[in-house]
Amino acid sequence: MVKLDEKELKEGKKQLEGVLILCWVMAILTGIGILSGFGWGHLGILNNYLDDPFTLHAATDVIRNLISFPFRMVYSLIVPALYIVELIGIYQRRVFAVPLGRAVLVVTMVFFFPVGTIIGAVLWKRFNHPLSKKYLNYEN
């Protein structure tokens, strides 16, 4: 770890405040999205077939949905996990916080277009600032 004086430490931390706010907001929003049924909504798949007559197509559809549910659930948990791991990395001043932060910004820019693209473009330069790299012990 590089020893930083108080001024560099304060400036490096200040450079990453916007990224911290973005990660907190997105972790909360995506977590609420998953807990509110976005990821769990596939459990109600049987309700669609209870009123209809039994067909072989309906049975295979139910089996396919039940088998693929764990995989879809894992994919829906990846996005909030990215934001949470990024928060942990920044608070603990880990080296992986810079590349993971860039990945988080790309995910934000892609999935939350056009607002996410504007926010990502503004915050991208924060990771390239020399004092924020020094604060996170990131060396090229």
Domain-embedded: residue 1: no
Structural domain that includes position 91: 6-38+75-135
Least trusted range by pLDDT, from 26-30, 46-50, 116-120:
46-50
Would you say 27 and 84 are in contact if contact means Cβ atoms under 8 Å apart?
yes
Quote the pTM value.
0.74
Q: How far apart are CA 140 and CA 126, in angstroms?
A: 16
Which residues, 6 or more positions from 123, have their beta carbon under 8 angstroms from its beta carbon? Answer: 18, 19, 22, 105
Angle between helices 56-91 and 97-111 (to 10 degrees): 140
Residue 72: how many CA atoms within 13 Å on its side-chain side? 14
How many domains would you assign to the chain?
1
Q: How far apart are CA 73 and CA 34, in angstroms?
A: 9
The answer to whether residue 118 scores a pLDDT higher than 90 is yes
pLDDT band at 4; cut points 50, 70, 90: confident
% of the chain surpassing 70 pLDDT? 81
Domain-embedded: residue 62: no
Instruction: For the chain, give the mean pLDDT.
Output: 82
Domain-embedded: residue 101: yes
Which residues, 6 or more positions from 94, have their beta carbon under 8 angstroms from its beta carbon? Answer: 88, 136, 137
Burial degree of 119 (CB within 10 A; 0-12, 13-18, 19+): buried
pLDDT score, position 51: 62
Domain-embedded: residue 56: no
